[in-house]
Amino acid sequence: MKHWFALSAIGRDRPGIVADLAGLIYECDCNLEDSSMTILGSEFAVLLLLTGEGPDVEQRLSAACKRLEWEKRLTVFFRPLEGEPVPYRASHHATPYQLQAVGVDKAGIVARVARCLADNRVNISQMITQSRPEPGTGTPIYTMKIVMDVPRETSTDSLREQLEQIARALHIDIAITEGGEQ
């Protein structure tokens, strides 16, 4: 019987982390089904979806994760899933959109935009943020890119107006465009 697991790991970025995790999965007779990896500051972060078979697969993974934490100084968390996960697909009751916000970095950009989207029942499927110094002045400029699904019953005019109010209050630019993944 096939068992499904979600695994996350974070640690100081260095060459070999992906090889270490792939080796762990292989050694436990598991299969990597899906993954998302990134570097956040100086930390490497990964989310993995994997499968394995056998009555002791969870124990094998648990022991291997503990070993990897000890030997490679990674923080690893995994949990079994209840059955096969259903791949995310935008509902036929929603329209895909992209949102981009840019402005001088300040507290509250993500919190206010995410709350507005949640209040309008918008599902965020991907979000990438970063703060980088502006060339010349060094002023930190914050960029947020979101891929989202807007329910068809949500007024996009109202959503745009709410986002424009947030943009004015935070002195940032926000643009949303209809379309799929980035």
Residue 35, H or E segment: strand 30-40
Q: pLDDT per residue over 105-130, tens digit each?
A: 999 999 999 999 999 999 999 999 99
- Phi, psi (degrees; rounded to nearest 5) at 110: -65, -45
CB atoms under 10 Å from CB of 54, counted, come to 14
pTM of the predicted model, to two decimals? 0.81
> What is the per-residue pLDDT across 4-27, written as a single tens digit (0 to 9) for each?
999 999 999 999 999 999 999 999
Token pair, residue 91, equals: 């509902």
Kindly list the structural domains of the chain, giving each domain's residue range(s) and its CATH number in brackets, ordered by start: 2-80 (3.30.70.260), 94-178 (3.30.70.260)
Annotate 85-109 with b (16+ C-beta within 10 A) or e (fewer). eeeeebeeebbbbbbebebebeeeb
